[in-house]
Chains A and B, each alone.
Chain A
Amino acid sequence: MSKPAPKPTATDIAAQVRSGERTAVEVLEEHLAVVADRESEIHAFNVVIADEARERASAIDAQIASGEDPGPLAGVPVALKDNMCTTGIPTTCSSKILDGWKPPYNGTAVDKLYEAGAVVVGKTNLDEFAMGSSTENSAFGPTLNPLDTSCVPGGSSGGSAAAVAAGFAALSFGSDTGGSIRQPAALTGTVGLKPSYGTVSRYGLIAFASSLDQIGPFANTVADAAAGFEAVAGHDPRDSTSIPEQLRPVTPHLSDGVDGMRIGVITELMGDGELKGFEPEVIAQTRAAADALAAAGAKVSEVSVPSVVYGLTAYYLIAPSEASSNLARYDGVRYGNRVTGVNTAAMNTATRTAGFGAEVKRRIMLGTYALSAGYYDAFYGKAQRVRTLIIDDFARAYEDFDVLLSPTSPCVAFPFGAKSDPMTMYLNDTCTIPSNLSGQPAISVPFGTGDRGLPVGVQILAPMLGEVELFKVAAVLEGANQ
């Protein structure tokens, strides 16, 4: 495959718009032209809001003209995963059940992006309700990987990953419940961050699994991802799980380097243990990344985090359990689709039968079962105990290491339909799930290529609120990935 042309970065755009070198309208039109050129092929968006975006870009330019600073993302075209609520703009979760619903409010992250001067160009496709790893589970059809259109872009935030990879937007946002930002970032050669749980408000993010969901950025560069993270992070009184502490800015540390940093490669995620299915090129590139970090002055060695091997199992009990409850409200009574029935229960059933896709139904059933009387302790309760084990194991690892390293995904982008068996698909999230269970931050950075010349993503993991360390390492890897 051919290396795509370098795309304008968000930080460059913001600097140029703020300095008056370029107008936001100009920048937007340039991106809309790319959309016009390739969107019909890629299908990154559920909706493109060109008119609203043009109005917004003009307003930014007016601000600049009157001497105001629109903010750090001034004029940056941004794409939002279609599970982030936007006032008056359809928000569907790529589900038929929410077809036609327009939220009466913006999510907090969306408000913050507007406050930072961003220009939202559209809402991106996802696996229905963020359940999937390929965006094949969208009710509106799959998104294609811009690097190889025979392959999936990963998921569930496949549309956001593709939008940035294709140059439809300079920055995009997704949500990561079990790897839904990092895995598609890896598969599309972009940078993707899953921030520490509680750093980005979940208010206005349509819930999949509340204790795991976290909004984060996709970008073409590490610096852009940092800028995107800083724009949306911060305490929100509307989210009880939002962390009240002041967050450390990451941007000033992007060129700190890794000299003296202790970096541990997670033994269990390197393909020669209990967890199988890692492509050899992926492992090779991860080792190459470790070598590059060592060459940059880091102390790199392997570390065992034994309980990560149970992460997938625990996740597939906890996430569906929470989802079974979170998705109960789609009952046809108040919004979205309604299929009538002879009584309320029949209407509920008919609506949900018609409105949800197979994977969503599968997970609702799984979660309902796991929470049922008599099964709770064996399933949900035990999964929560595994979660504690993983947190404890990470805490032990971080006694000796500043950050940890692993592949992001066991494989590079795969062809459509290649993982039609749900279990095979679920295994894609083996490396990413532990960070969601522990609540800790992790970032995927492109590093080299694997099978068919497709990009490999390397994952960096850090302790809670360790975003600064993540970005230091990510920046070094980005520099070494030439």
Chain B
Amino acid sequence: MTNKSATKTESQELLPEGWEMVIGLEIHVELATATKLFSPAQNSFGSEPNQNVHPVCLGLPGTLPVVNEKAIEFAARIGLALNCTVQKCVFARKNYFYPDMPKDYQISQFDEPLNIDGWVDLPVAGTRIRVERAHVEEDTGKTTHVGDSGRIHDAGYSLVDYNRAGVPLVEIVTHPDIRGPEEAKEYVDEVRAMVVAVGASDGKMEEGSLRVDANVSVRPAGSDELRTRCEIKNVNSLRSIGRAITYEAKRHVNLYESGKEPIQETRHWDEEAGRTRDGRKKEDSDDYRYFADPDLVAIDPTPEWIAQIAASQPALPAQRREALVSAGADSEGAALVVQRDLDSLVLAVIEAGGEAKRVLNHATNNLAIEGAEALSPSNFADLVKMEADGALTSTQAKQVLAEMVSDGSTPADIAAKHGFEAMDTGELEATLDEIISSSPQEWERFVNEPEARGKLQGFFVGQVMKATRGQADGKLVNQLLAKKANS
């Protein structure tokens, strides 16, 4: 029956012995079109309430939807990035009453979505998450309940803002292939990078451009059954995705272990309390009475159109990481550089003669993303060369880099301005010898007590830095200390 795998998965580490998590994610991505999905109203974030509206997205009687072709192109770009099949699709009406939905139905896609059967390979976890579908739909407006508790059931009144109503969304639905919070976060991050890379969305979770619902269940580790799941809504940051999933999975395990069972429901993540709460119980079960929207016609992308979209796809995160690795980057550094969107700069610096390892180090640790695009690759490469040649210490190099970003000067000029000069090994060795002779007890212990060496190493490096006003290369000091102690 169950076939327990040899290595423990992430979720098995987090859950009591014998359980694992089964997670599927639904990501809603707002598309960065100029206008809404079916209406000429502007699609932008942060406007005054009810400014970005038009009779069509207000659902006024007599109005009709006309599909925004740019939204379909963006959706197909997302589909192709997710390795989906892009196919003929039909818009359907999802019928339910809600005040922030002007027509009291949402135009979505049901049994014939635009994108189906794709996958995402996670770069760090190394797992493949299958994508069931990525369909196009319209967003709803926003309701604010004004009353004592801010909750709908005892609100004094409600305010509705339709700016978001009709904004194009792509909903990306995975199979339940995710096995833990870190994997979930990595998946979301990878999808976010993809939709940004193809230009389909700004991917800003904090502005709601990318929203995640998690379907969470648990099962005996190694089993392939699918147990009752709960849908967790309101997870608005990567951090809360991880916390919410872990909380919910533990809740399920606790229920099972106390002889109870979870019920299928929608739950809300309470970030402050660090727990999920059951949503308002629905009086009627979810019967959305889907049917093909008679106001719209099927969209049947031609193979030529799909090929054209595919041919003009910008490089995807995976391809960009691969390019960095080919240029000499390690995979972890490559992932971080792509995430920081600094890969084209890094590649140009390596091309200009910068040593890959040092360039990666600066790009991942020392370089602020803002302003980095203004850096001249050849100046950056010169800086790395000066550092490699010992003309600058790593500390100095970091400072010079920061100033290169702020004032655009060459590294040589900045180094000269600060009087950063090559401190040659001989000079440094003389300084170190002086310090050793003035601290004989410390040196004695450094040489003879291996367990104290780490702490005392810090002492000697600190003394050297103090004496050289930070101009010494810490790494070189360590090398000299080791050489002297062993000689």
Contacts and interface: CB of A to CB of B under 8 A. Distances in A.
B111 to A, nearest CB: 11
Nearest to B38: A240
Contact of B103 (A324, A329, A371, A372): A329
Interface stretch (A1-9, A72-80, A150-158, A202-210): A202-210
A436 to B, nearest CB: 12
B59 interface: yes
Interface stretch (A39-47, A101-109, A179-187): A101-109
A316 B224 CA distance: 46
Contacts of B287: 372-373
B374 interface: no
A238 B59 CA distance: 14
A343 interface: yes
Given A85-B61, A204-B62, A334 B102 contact: yes
A380 B291 contact: yes
Interface string B149-163: 000110000101000
B95 interface: yes
A349 to B, nearest CB: 9
A459 interface: no
A348 interface: yes
Contacts of A104: 55, 60
Q: Which of A93, A104, A333 has the most CB of B within 10 A?
A: A333
A322 B97 contact: no
Contact of A211 (B104, B153, B294): B294
A350 to B, nearest CB: 13
Interface in A300-351: 321-322, 324-325, 328-329, 331, 333-335, 343-345, 348
B65 A240 contact: yes
Nearest to A367: B289
Interface in A224-259: 237-241
B410 to A, nearest CB: 56
B310 interface: no
Nearest to A369: B289
Contacts of A203: 62-64
Contacts of B59: 329, 334
A205 B93 CA distance: 19
Contacts of B64: 202-203, 238-240
Contacts of A85: 61-62
Contact of A328 (B62, B97, B160, B295): B97
A333 B295 contact: no
Contacts of A322: 291, 294
Contacts of A371: 95, 289-291
Given A328-B97, A328-B103, A103 B61 contact: yes
A376 B62 CA distance: 26
A371 B92 CA distance: 12
A372 B103 CA distance: 19
The SS class assigned to the A binding surface is loop
Given A104-B55, A372-B287, A328 B294 contact: no
Contact of B294 (A210, A331, A333, A376): A210
Interface string A72-103: 00000000000111000001010000100101
A432 interface: no
A203 B56 CA distance: 10
Interface in B84-98: 93, 95, 97
B62 A107 contact: yes
A210 B93 contact: no
Interface residues of B, number: 33
B247 interface: no
Interface string B69-108: 0000000000000000000000001010101001111000
Nearest to B143: A344
Contacts of A98: 61
A210 B95 contact: no
A330 to B, nearest CB: 8
Given A104-B55, A328-B104, A321 B291 contact: yes
B37 to A, nearest CB: 12
Contacts of B95: 324-325, 328, 371
Contact of B60 (A325, A335, A343): A335
A408 interface: no
Contacts of B289: 324-325, 368, 371-373, 376
Given A101-B61, A329-B104, A380-B291, A240 B67 contact: yes
Interface in B245-292: 283, 287, 289-291
Interface in B276-320: 283, 287, 289-291, 293-297
B481 interface: no
A329 B153 contact: no
Given A203-B63, A206-B62, A240-B296, A329 B102 contact: yes
Contacts of B485: none
Nearest to A318: B294
A334 B58 contact: yes
A238 B65 CA distance: 7
A91 B297 CA distance: 28
Interface in B134-187: 152-153, 158, 160
A237 B62 contact: no
Interface of B: 55, 58-67, 93, 95, 97, 99, 102-105, 152-153, 158, 160, 283, 287, 289-291, 293-297
26 contacts: A91-B61, A91-B62, A103-B61, A104-B55, A107-B62, A203-B62, A206-B61, A209-B294, A210-B295, A239-B66, A240-B65, A240-B297, A241-B295, A324-B289, A325-B105, A325-B289, A328-B97, A329-B102, A331-B104, A333-B99, A334-B59, A344-B158, A371-B290, A371-B291, A373-B287, A373-B289
Given A240-B296, A345-B283, A373-B287, 19 more contacts: A84-B62, A103-B60, A103-B61, A104-B55, A105-B60, A202-B64, A210-B295, A239-B64, A240-B64, A240-B66, A328-B103, A328-B105, A331-B99, A334-B58, A334-B59, A334-B102, A335-B60, A335-B61, A368-B289
Nearest 4 A/B pairs, CB to CB: A328-B104, A211-B294, A371-B289, A210-B294
Interface of A: 83-85, 91, 93, 98, 101, 103-105, 107, 202-207, 209-211, 237-241, 321-322, 324-325, 328-329, 331, 333-335, 343-345, 348, 368, 371-373, 376, 380
